[in-house]
Amino acid sequence: MTTTPYSSPPWEVLLLVAHHLDAKTLAIASCVSKLWSISMSSDHLWKPIFTSNFPSLSTLQHAHSSISFHRLFAIGLTASKRRRQNPAKPKLSLNDLVFVISVSTSDSLIFTLMTPCDEMVADPHRLFRFDIEISDSKWVREGLEEVKVTWNVILRGWKAVFCMMDSVGKLGFQAGSEGWFSVELPTPGCCQNVVASSVVADLKLGICGGKERDGRVRMKKVSVGILNIMDWRYVSLEDGLRYLHHFLHPDS
């Protein structure tokens, strides 16, 4: 019995079969031999695969005509995998942070509070949003006043500070009313998509009154958070912590 030496099928046959293969099978087939590697890397095979999988990248070949569609598919696949990866867990935790919030008029401090974040009630949906009760707010007469609102985030041990808000605006002191303040936040100085670039520090004041105080009112609650104005939703707790990390730990 004689053995017939193995020979690769003709180039034309390889290409005919290859047109029916998917990207993964083409990549495996290209490892068989040098001839197969050349055949399975043909632009005729990879162009339709590339354009169907990554239509948004289809103009890249016009910018650099010498780059193969095989290579474009590889970098497109790598980019898509990175986009699907879950971001790393934030390096900060609520245990690391303290909120310092104050409201004042031109001639009087209404309240100031310093609250460790781990002592605040967590949002049930794990959003970067917190409600804080105010116990020592000054009683003031009803009316419209110009106030200054500040919100700073302190890294425990007073190692760093990030100013979330330092704003001046009008506030109506009336029982049952609310005062709302928002300030655009800077974009993190990095390439990671931590949060959308259009985010604001959001602060809301709740006001209550009492007949025993001759119509005077006081602030009973402050709510703070980071709001994404692209969809008007609060960012997740994890994304908020990642965002603050870039300003409280800029070198890590």
pLDDT in tens, 201-232: 999 999 887 655 677 888 899 999 999 887 78
Q: What is the pLDDT of residue 194?
A: 46
The whole-angstrom separation of Cα 123 and Cα 241 is 14
CA distance 233 to 183: 15
| The predicted structure's pLDDT at residue 210 | 64
What CA–CA distance (Å, rounded) separates 123 from 182? 20
Q: Which residues contact 19 (CB under 8 A, 6 or more apart)?
A: 45
Is it the case that residue 5 has pLDDT exceeding 60? Answer: no
- Mode of pairing for the β-strands spanning 143-155 and 217-228: unpaired
Mean per-residue pLDDT over the chain, rounded: 81
Confidence of residue 192 (pLDDT cuts 50, 70, 90): very low
Calpha distance 2→39 (Å, rounded): 30
The pLDDT score that the predictor gives to residue 196 is 47
Token pair listed for 147: 């106030």
CA distance 252 to 246: 8
- More confident: 189 or 51: 51
Residues pairing with 144 in the sheet: 172
Q: Which helix (H) or strand (E) holds 100?
A: strand 97-104
CA atoms within 13 A on the CB side of 22: 2
Predicted TM-score (pTM) of the model is 0.65
Which range is most confident: 10-24, 41-55, 155-169? 155-169
Q: Is 24 exposed, middle or buried (0-12, 13-18, 19+ CB in 10 A)?
A: exposed
Contacts of 232 (CB under 8 A, 6+ apart): none
32 falls in which pLDDT band (50, 70, 90)?
confident
* Strand, coil or helix: 10: coil
- Residue pair 233/126 in contact by the 8 Å Cβ criterion: no
**Would you put residue 214 in left (φ > 0), alpha (ψ -120 to 50) or beta?**
left
Which amino acid, residue 107?
D
> Percent of the chain at pLDDT above 70?
82
